[in-house]
């Protein structure tokens, strides 16, 4: 009896969590515009999706911003992690780490607004440039938080041993330190890429008129009402993020196993 | 290794992109932008009854959704912990996956279910009743919040319960406590850090959202997030928008201090 209750409860919760997603995906293949009646299979909405220039433009912006901001954030975040790990006195470290955590803890809407104010204040034109900068800025802390643990794990005597054996500091860094922390850097980059694709709130405030990414487009379309092409777009985005995050998770799990 | 030169660029980066932007919010909240003098006008306006009602409504809806998440999430966390390992890992992954989906899409999914021609109304119709207004109500907003943030409640409680020393439960049972007493006196108090972490992780995004209320709720001045958005993007009153943002930050800080006192072990990052 207890077992039956437990199973039904779990089934209800999972039903609650997945029903909306499944309905969304199923009805993206429905040939009628109706969201309640199934009238046959179609790929029409996917076709419309790939013919719409506004959607393709937004997709292009999303991917461009995600790739460039992930790369920039990875470089900046990795260097910052080195600086935090190597160069700081404990008190400095504490202040810097708290400031690094601040954007992670702050509500997105506050981060978005504060960056918008900054960009307008220094008279930057809001557009793809500010979008890119904003994404880089909010990605940096996440890269730091994935690279820093790797640096802490690294056994510095290996580096010293390489120096003792006659390696130059840069050679020792390239051959000993870098390969050891590379998994952390790649995880951080994938993480940054995913966060960038997923972001809506910060993008919404830091982009200019006419420059959309997918999230902003979905928001403005959804505000006007419901259309099956959004279902198709949602399905594609859901699957993309799912695959990416499975990759990240696998890397993290493998890293843990190695440890 | 002399790499001290790396230290300053990152400090500069943080100063420019973390400290200065936040300082700007405080500046606009407390400065009269025409004369550049200190003023409390914006804060005073934020304390007008209209906006206090919006603030209260935000806190109330977020608190109710947090409570609902707790009430339905806690039993789920218990089920996860007591399942056999084989099922448990699968179920934890199933709980995490919806968190990975863009919350805009999760919210949009409920729009399609709740709208006039949606699946729910089709069911209502089959039962012979007229169309029910599900969408654009407080209930829909609440549902959207619970749906979006439920995993944030389940997972911290789950992780604390997993770490708990099971021998304490056995000891209670050996000493003659029944299942309910064991839960009330041992398991539940020990799981509190997870509960507080979960509450924080649900309450924070719920009280600051403007998307869920905009897509599922009715009316323009729904939650404080909507008012802030409106002030910046539609009306262009940065001073008042900033004052409301400061208010929101204070609110978050208070709830964080309130809850994080108990949150030494729970929380953590969930991918």
All domains of chain B in start order, with CATH: 39-260 (1.10.3720.10)
Q: Do A86 and B106 touch (CB under 8 A)?
A: no
Q: Which two tokens stand for residue B5?
A: 């030169």
Whether the CB-CB separation of B69 and B146 falls below 8 Å is answered with yes
- Residue B247 CA to residue B231 CA, distance in Å, equals 14
Mean pLDDT along residues B209-218: 89
Residues 54-93 of A with CB under 8 A from B: 76, 79-80, 82-84, 86-88, 92
Whether the CB-CB separation of A28 and A231 falls below 8 Å is answered with yes
- Residue A241 CA to residue A247 CA, distance in Å, equals 10
The beta-strand segments (E) located in chain A are none
Burial of A129 (0-12, 13-18, 19+ CB in 10 A): middle
- Chain mean position to CA A83: 24
pLDDT in the model for residue B22 = 94
Domain borders along chain A are 2-27+38-258
Q: Provide the 10 A C-beta neighbour count for residue B195.
A: 22
DSSP string, A122-133: TTPPPSHHHHHH
Beta bridge partners of A41: A30
Beta bridge partners of B31: B38
Residue B32 DSSP label? E
Q: B9, B13, B104, B145: which to substitute to probe chain A, counting the most A Cβ within 10 Å?
A: B104
pLDDT in the model for residue A198 = 85
Q: Provide the 10 A C-beta neighbour count for residue A23.
A: 19
Residue A35 DSSP label? S
- Residue A139 CA to residue A188 CA, distance in Å, equals 9
- Residue B111 CA to residue B135 CA, distance in Å, equals 7
Number of continuous H segments (helices) and E segments (strands) in chain A: 12, 0
B35-63 confidence digits (pLDDT tens): 888 888 888 998 899 899 999 999 999 99
Q: A12, A18, A24: which to substitute to probe chain B, counting the most B Cβ within 10 Å?
A: A24
Element (H, E) at B38: strand B37-38
- Residue A30 CA to residue B146 CA, distance in Å, equals 28
Mean pLDDT along residues B61-72: 96
% of chain B exceeding 70 in pLDDT: 92
**Is the confidence at residue B262, as pLDDT, over 80?**
no
Q: Do A87 and B106 touch (CB under 8 A)?
A: no
Contacts of A35 in chain B (CB under 8 A): 112-113, 115, 117-119
Whether the CB-CB separation of B158 and B201 falls below 8 Å is answered with no
**Is the confidence at residue B271, as pLDDT, over 70?**
no
CATH topology classification for A2-27+38-258? MetI-like fold (1.10.3720)
Positive or negative CA dihedral for B136, B140, B142, B148?
negative
Whether the CB-CB separation of B252 and B204 falls below 8 Å is answered with yes
Q: Do A223 and B214 touch (CB under 8 A)?
A: yes
Among candidate residues B248, B199, B148, B210, the one with its CA nearest the CA of residue A110: B248
Mean pLDDT along residues A155-180: 90
Beta bridge partners of B38: B31
pLDDT in the model for residue B268 = 42
Give CA angle at B247 (B243, B250), nearest 5°.
140
Helix axes A2-27, B49-82, angle to 10 degrees: 120
Whether the CB-CB separation of B29 and B221 falls below 8 Å is answered with no
Among candidate residues B33, B236, B146, the one with its CA nearest the CA of residue A17: B146
Task: Look over chain A and give the mean of its residue pLDDT values, rounded to a whole number.
Answer: 88
pLDDT in the model for residue B3 = 53
Q: Which two tokens stand for residue A178?
A: 């870098």
Beta bridge partners of A30: A41
How far is A231 from chain B, CA to nearest CA, in Å? 8
Q: Do B215 and A222 touch (CB under 8 A)?
A: yes
Element (H, E) at A177: none
Among candidate residues A187, A200, A198, A199, the one with its CA nearest the CA of residue A246: A187
- Residue A159 CA to residue B227 CA, distance in Å, equals 55
% of chain A exceeding 70 in pLDDT: 97
A87-131 confidence digits (pLDDT tens): 778 888 888 888 888 888 889 999 999 999 999 999 999 999 999
Which residue shows structure tokens 């932008």? B33
Give CA angle at B111 (B150, B202), nearest 5°.
20
B100-155 confidence digits (pLDDT tens): 777 888 898 898 888 888 888 888 888 887 788 888 888 999 999 999 999 999 99
Beta bridge partners of B37: B32
When mean pLDDT is compared across A248-252, B60-64, B169-173, the lowest value belongs to: A248-252
How far is B108 from chain A, CA to nearest CA, in Å? 7
A172-216 confidence digits (pLDDT tens): 988 988 998 999 999 999 889 988 988 999 999 999 888 899 899
- Residue B106 CA to residue B99 CA, distance in Å, equals 9
pTM of the model: 0.87
């Amino acid at each position: 009896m207890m077992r039956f209750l437990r199973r039904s409860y779990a089934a209800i919760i999972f039903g609650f969590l997945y029903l909306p997603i499944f309905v969304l995906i199923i009805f993206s293949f429905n040939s009628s515009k109706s969201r309640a009646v199934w009238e046959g299979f179609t790929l029409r909405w996917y076709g419309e999706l790939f013919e719409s220039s506004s959607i393709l433009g937004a997709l292009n912006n999303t991917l461009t911003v995600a790739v460039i901001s992930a790369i920039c954030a990875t470089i900046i975040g990795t260097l910052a992690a080195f600086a935090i790990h190597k160069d700081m006195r404990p008190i400095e470290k504490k202040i810097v780490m708290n400031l690094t955590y601040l954007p992670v803890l702050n509500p997105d809407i506050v981060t978005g607004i504060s960056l918008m104010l900054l960009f307008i204040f220094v008279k930057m034109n809001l557009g793809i440039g500010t979008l890119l900068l904003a994404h880089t800025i909010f990605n940096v802390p996440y890269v730091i938080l994935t690279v820093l643990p790797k640096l802490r794990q690294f056994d510095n005597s290996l580096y010293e041993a390489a120096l003792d054996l006659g390696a130059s500091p840069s050679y020792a860094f390239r051959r000993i330190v870098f390969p050891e922390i590379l998994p952390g850097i790649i995880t951080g980059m994938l993480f940054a890429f995913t966060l960038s694709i997923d972001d809506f709130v910060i993008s919404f405030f830091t982009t200019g008129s006419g420059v959309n990414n997918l999230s902003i487009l979905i928001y403005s379309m959804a505000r006007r009402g419901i259309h099956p092409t959004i279902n198709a777009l949602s399905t594609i985005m859901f699957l993309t993020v799912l695959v990416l995050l499975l990759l990240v998770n696998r890397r993290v799990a493998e890293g843990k196993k190695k440890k | 290794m002399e790499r001290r030169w790396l230290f300053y660029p990152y400090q500069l980066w943080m100063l420019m992109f973390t400290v200065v932007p936040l300082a700007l919010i405080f500046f606009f909240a407390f400065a009269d932008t025409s004369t550049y003098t200190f003023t409390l006008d914006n804060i005073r306006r934020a304390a007008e009854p209209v906006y206090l009602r919006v603030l209260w409504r935000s806190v109330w809806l977020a608190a109710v959704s947090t409570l609902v998440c707790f009430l339905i999430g806690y039993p789920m966390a218990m089920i996860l912990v007591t399942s056999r390992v084989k099922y448990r890992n699968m179920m934890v992954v199933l709980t995490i996956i919806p968190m990975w989906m863009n919350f805009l899409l999760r919210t949009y999914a409920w729009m399609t279910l709740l709208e006039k021609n949606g699946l729910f109304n089709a069911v209502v119709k089959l039962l012979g009743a007229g169309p029910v207004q599900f969408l654009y109500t407080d209930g829909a907003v609440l549902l959207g919040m619970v749906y979006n943030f439920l995993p944030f409640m389940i997972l911290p409680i789950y992780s604390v319960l997993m770490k708990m020393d099971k021998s304490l439960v056995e000891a209670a049972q050996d000493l003659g406590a029944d299942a309910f007493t064991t839960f009330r006196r041992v398991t539940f108090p020990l799981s509190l850090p997870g509960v507080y972490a979960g509450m924080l992780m649900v309450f924070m995004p719920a009280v600051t959202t403007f998307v869920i209320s905009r897509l599922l709720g009715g009316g323009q001045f729904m939650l404080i997030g909507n008012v802030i958005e409106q002030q910046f993007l539609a009306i262009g009153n940065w001073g008042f928008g900033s004052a409301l943002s400061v208010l929101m930050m204070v609110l978050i800080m208070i709830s964080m201090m309130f809850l994080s006192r108990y949150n030494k072990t729970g929380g953590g990052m969930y991918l």
